[in-house]
Amino acid sequence: MGYLLKQQTFVLRSSLSHLLLGTFIFFLCYFVFLSLRFWINKSAIDVRTSDGWGYIALFIYGLTIALAYSMTFTGLETRVKVIGFLMTPCNPIEKYLSRVIIATVTGFVGILLTYFLADGVRMLLDWAIVGKQVHSTIPGFFNALGDFAEGLTDTRDFPATISALALWVYSLTFFILCSSVFRTKAFIKGIGLYNLFVIIGLIIVGTILFLVVGNYDDGDVGDREDFFNATMVAVSVILWLFSALNVWWSYRNFKQSTIL
Amino acid sequence: MINIQNIDFTYKKGKKKVYTDFSAHIEAGGIYGLLGRNGTGKSTLLYIICGLLHPQKGACTLDGIDTSARMAETLKDIFLVPEEFELPATSMRRYVEINKPFYPNFSEELLDYCLSAFDLDRTVQLGELSMGMKKKAFISFALATNTRVLLMDEPTNGLDIPSKSQFRKALASAASEERAIVISTHQVKDVEQLLDQFIIIESDGLLVQSSAADITEKFRFDMHDLSYADDNELYSRPSFSGKETISLNTSGEDTPINLDLLFTALIEKPELAKYLNNEK
């Protein structure tokens, strides 16, 4: 497995470096865009603003991890490319896991580092242009992450937080599945399908909530909350199950893939 | 070793079946020539053997294990040199370092021997080589893996005349009793001296599977005047210096196989295959 990881990292080094460079430029453009009005006014960015940016950065981070997962099976677009990988003497599960591990490390660690780097460059620009009170968005990013983690331990916020987490995990596994199904432009195609599924899912869940919770006109507010929480937990259970299905399906696709 | 049992194969988009109830077997210690006309499925057969294509019916096994599962235990014994391939833009040394751990019988000595036979060394940058040079580097690596089965699809395509001779030299040095080498080619002249087993396929399946010894025992390959006639003559075709003939070997004397003539004869007169398949 170690040799396979080394080999695949070597094979994918070009695609991975392009992904990380692209993410770095994206983060930098985002920070520069948000900083423009401060730079024009030569004013300082206050800590609360940079905290807000941290929340948005967390969202972008989650999205770019999905992008990294959509590249799980990148480099297997043509017969010539796929033969080398499929003929490597390892079991299909090892090859599958090696790709998922590389996507995970690139997504969670690599992209986080590019975010830190982009924020560092933005701070340097801040310091050069405004000259004082330079703030990092990184504490804001970790505050947002901490708020999310707190939601998992808080009884009141737990149903909403767990369903948000389930939706995110589902999204990541969905993009692994897309990568195993679509040999080219997996992210673009995946986004299209994902939006379709999420919209359909929201319509179904929204309709249930509207029909049931909306009918508690004279009922106790506690009943509405209970039903809402129960729905969120049910949705998250369904999403976890679909996530497992996505992983199984993507492995099955990979295992049965041929050079056709 | 490799057993191809009653396979049916059709490309998804194609209506024509490539193989129907096709069977063949490959044993260690032979250099097999896989011959056939364009579109008869030579490359397809190589891909099925190594598990890159899955037959709709039947199975291909290596020591009883289905190769379509592509498990490590079978893949470490099979190496494929496809007609087209890509090599990373790195040095041969680095390429070997990354890929050799997957092949337990990898031979550094054989690699150096093959590379030197092709006038290459480990310092070459693969990304800077021409297609022919890349092919030589890749073939050197393939031979050095020492896998029990080595499949080569048109290995001499893109090689210049001296390189073809170098290829024969390298291949001869890598052949062993534990190893089966299967070469699919149209350019029979490039490898005919090396081949000791033949699998000849036609559009409707296997035409002949026979050893060189069996062929020379049954057939004679001669050159005669155009006026020459013999009752034992099975096939002839005119050439610049007379006519090339295949006749029944009644004298027991071995003659060198004219593979080009044999292949043409089998295509034009498929009934000749019965002699080789022991049906006549």
Do residue B85 and residue A83 have CB atoms under 8 angstroms apart?
yes
Look at residue B11 in the predicted model and tell me its pLDDT. Answer: 85
Q: Residue ranges per domain, chain B?
A: 2-203, 211-276
Do residue A90 and residue B79 have CB atoms under 8 angstroms apart?
no
Best residue of A4, A10, A252 to probe chain B, by most B CBs closer than 10 Å: A10
B98 touches chain A (CB under 8 A): yes
pLDDT of B89-146, one tens digit each? 899 999 999 999 999 999 999 999 999 988 898 999 998 989 899 999 999 999 999 9
Look at residue B13 in the predicted model and tell me its pLDDT. Answer: 67
Question: Which of B47, B98, B102 is the closest to A259 by Cβ?
Answer: B47
Best residue of B45, B52, B100 to probe chain A, by most A CBs closer than 10 Å: B52
B141 touches chain A (CB under 8 A): no
pLDDT of B223-253, one tens digit each? 888 777 777 778 888 888 888 888 888 887 8
Q: Which residues of B touch A92 (CB under 8 A)?
A: 69-71
In angstroms, the CA B241 to CA B239 distance is 6
What are the E-state strand segments in chain B?
2-9, 19-26, 31-36, 57-62, 65-66, 78-81, 149-153, 180-184, 197-202, 205-211, 219-224, 233-239, 242-248
pLDDT interval class at B280 (50, 70, 90):
low
Q: Give the contacts of B266 (CB within 8 A, at least 6 positions apart).
A: B200, B207, B208, B272, B273
Q: At what angle do helices B161-174 and B131-144 cross, to 10 degrees?
A: 10
Look at residue A47 in the predicted model and tell me its pLDDT. Answer: 57
Question: Which of A84, A89, A256 is the closest to B72 by Cβ?
Answer: A89
Q: Which residues of B touch A8 (CB under 8 A)?
A: none
Q: Which residues of B touch A81 (CB under 8 A)?
A: 86
Return the closest-CA partner of residue B50 out of B82, B21, B14. B82
Do residue A10 and residue B88 have CB atoms under 8 angstroms apart?
yes
Share of chain B above pLDDT 90, in %: 40
Dihedral sign (CA A236, A241, A247, A249)? negative
Give φ, ψ of B36 to 5 degrees: 175, 165
CATH class entry, domain B2-203: alpha beta
B78 touches chain A (CB under 8 A): yes
Do residue A259 and residue B52 have CB atoms under 8 angstroms apart?
yes
Does the pLDDT at position B183 exceed 90?
Answer: yes
- Is-contact B199 B33, C-beta < 8 A? yes
Return the closest-CA partner of residue A83 out of B103, B153, B120. B153
* Chains A, B: CB pairs < 8 Å: 61
- Is-contact A181 A253, C-beta < 8 A? yes
Q: In whole numbers, what is the pLDDT of chain B averaged over residues?
A: 88
Q: Residue ranges per domain, chain A?
A: 1-153, 156-260
Question: Which of B53, B98, B99 is the closest to A259 by Cβ?
Answer: B53
In angstroms, the CA A73 to CA A183 distance is 8
Mean pLDDT, consecutive 10-residue stretches, chain A (260 aa), reads: 83 88 90 79 64 80 90 85 91 93 93 92 83 77 84 80 88 93 88 87 80 63 72 88 95 88
Do residue B52 and residue A258 have CB atoms under 8 angstroms apart?
yes
DSSP state of B135: H
Look at residue B193 in the predicted model and tell me its pLDDT. Answer: 82
Question: Which of A10, A87, A258 is the closest to B75 by Cβ?
Answer: A87
User: Chain A residues contacting B, CB < 8 Å?
Assistant: 3-4, 6-7, 10-11, 79-81, 83-84, 86-92, 94, 255-256, 258-260
Q: Which residues of B touch A15 (CB under 8 A)?
A: none
Do residue A7 and residue B99 have CB atoms under 8 angstroms apart?
yes
Sequence-ordered alpha helix ranges (H) in chain B: 42-49, 72-75, 92-99, 108-117, 131-144, 161-174, 188-191, 212-218, 259-268, 273-276
| Nearest residue on chain B to A88, alpha-carbon basis | B75
Residue A62 C-alpha, separation from nearest chain B C-alpha, in angstroms: 32
Residue A12 C-alpha, separation from nearest chain B C-alpha, in angstroms: 10
**Averaged pLDDT for residues B261-265:** 87
Do residue A90 and residue B54 have CB atoms under 8 angstroms apart?
no
In which residue are the tokens 């990988």 written? A85
Residue A244 C-alpha, separation from nearest chain B C-alpha, in angstroms: 23
Do residue A89 and residue B50 have CB atoms under 8 angstroms apart?
no
Residue B151 pairs in a beta bridge with: B80, B182
